Amino acid sequence: MSRSRSSEATETGKVPSAAVFAFSLAYLPLFAVAAWWGGWALLAVPVVLWGGASLADYLLPANTRNPTIRMLERRLVWHDRLLLAWTPIQILLIFGTLALITQTDRIGTAEAIGLMACVGIGTGTFGVTYAHELMHRRNRVAKSAAKIILISILYGHFFTEHLRVHHRYVGTPRDAVTARYNESVYRFLLRVLPGSFLSAWQVEAARLRQRGKGAWSLDNPFWQYIGGAAAFLFLAWLVGGWLGIILFLLQTLIAILLTEFVNFVQHYGLTRKHLGGGRYEHTREWHSWNATRPATGYMLVNLQRHSDHHFKPERHYPVLQTYPESTAPHLPFGYPVMVAMATVPQWWRWVMNRRVRRWRAQHYPEIEDWGPYNNMDLPLPQ
């Protein structure tokens, strides 16, 4: 297997300003206008947000510029403030909308459902994406903000699962979040929703055992995840009664599904080579799908530069690098279009399976039998 290419991308530009990534600030007035008009105007949220960004992706040239990675973190302070500001915004967005629906007479049942679905679009598109970035920070404020965001969609265990399981075992049978070759997104959801919760619990229990404590120790962050979820559900009940809880759960469902649809896209069919004896090669930039689409890239704070994120997870989002297709596999479109494509398994397989096969031939020509890799029927990592 050839590894003549450089493992580092070439730096070609300055770090984009925080304003370039502030798509969430455009979502808020869009949501407010849609909520005011109601009815069919609510469709403007997904159409303008995802459709508009995808159209801009098509019209604009690919973003292959790599900002310098040799800079002080203090110069990224406004980039971090953008992420941190979303935590109170998300809480106000969720419960302010619940109050608007349940404590006024101007919104009907269909509009209430549409309005909370639009909230879920915001919490799933920006909330989880920002939390994902914040959880990789070293300071407690950022990590706490990430937990609050995730708990507010009843997905607190994602914090543990992502940091302690996904990044360590991506591309191996132990990682539930790595989508298998030829797997539909619907089968993926049935596997990953319980699987990620279970794997997060197991890794926390193992960590506590190593410290001489039981799984139910108060040091287990699952107390935060479950207790925080109960608190948010209680607050939803205080604001809107049982209707408030139902609408709150609708918002969480939308956000969680968006999260896992994106997870499905990010690693579909890409696996790390098994070296024997339960050992796997180190995670490299060719073990995640990369995308150079500009508008959706900025909207999702460079999440689409996922190849570099897994290769160098300590890098902050403004300085994540992109790679040529000779190094990292590229998606044909940005995440919104890829997620839409995944809803139709036949369409998804027609577009993506041949790319996976090309990736296998390019990076692992020495592997002749991919059968065990297709269903991840391989030994668990040691």
- Single pTM value for the model: 0.95
Phi and psi at residue 50, to the nearest 5°: -80, -45
Give pLDDT, residue 74. Answer: 57
CB atoms within 10 A of CB 216: 11
Give pLDDT, residue 68. Answer: 84
301: left (phi over 0), alpha (psi -120 to 50) or beta: left
Residue spans of the chain under pLDDT 70: 1-11, 71-74
- Tokens representing 333? 């479109």
Give pLDDT, residue 153. Answer: 98
Report the C-alpha gap between 21 and 293 in whole angstroms: 14
Give pLDDT, residue 13. Answer: 75
Give pLDDT, residue 8. Answer: 56
Contact (CB, 8 A) for 285 and 185: no
- List beta partners, residue 279: 276
pLDDT tens digits along 291-328: 999 999 999 999 999 999 999 999 999 999 999 999 99
Give pLDDT, residue 71. Answer: 58
3-state helix/strand/coil string of the chain: CCCCCCCCCCCCECCCCHHHHCHHHHHHHHHHHHHHHCHHHHHHHHHHHHHHHHHHHHHCCCCCCCECCCCCHHHHHHHHHHHHHHHHHHHHHHHHHHHHHHCCCCCCHHHHHHHHHHHHHHHHHHHHHHHHHHCCCCCHHHHHHHHHHHHCCCCCHHHHHHHHHHHHHCCCCCCCCCCCCCCCHHHHHHHHHHHHHHHHHHHHHHHHHHCCCCCCCCCCCHHHHHHHHHHHHHHHHHHHHHHHHHHHHHHHHHHHHHHHHHHHHHHCCCCCCEEECCEECCCCHHHCCECCCHHHHHHCCCCCCHHHHHHCCCCCHHHCCCCCCCCCCECCCCHHHHHHHHCCHHHHHHHHHHHHHHHHHHHCCCCCCCHHHHCCCCCCCC
Mean pLDDT score of the chain, rounded to an integer? 94
pLDDT tens digits along 58-111: 999 999 999 987 755 557 889 999 999 999 999 999 999 999 999 988 889 999
Report the C-alpha gap between 222 and 241 in whole angstroms: 26
Contact (CB, 8 A) for 250 and 113: yes
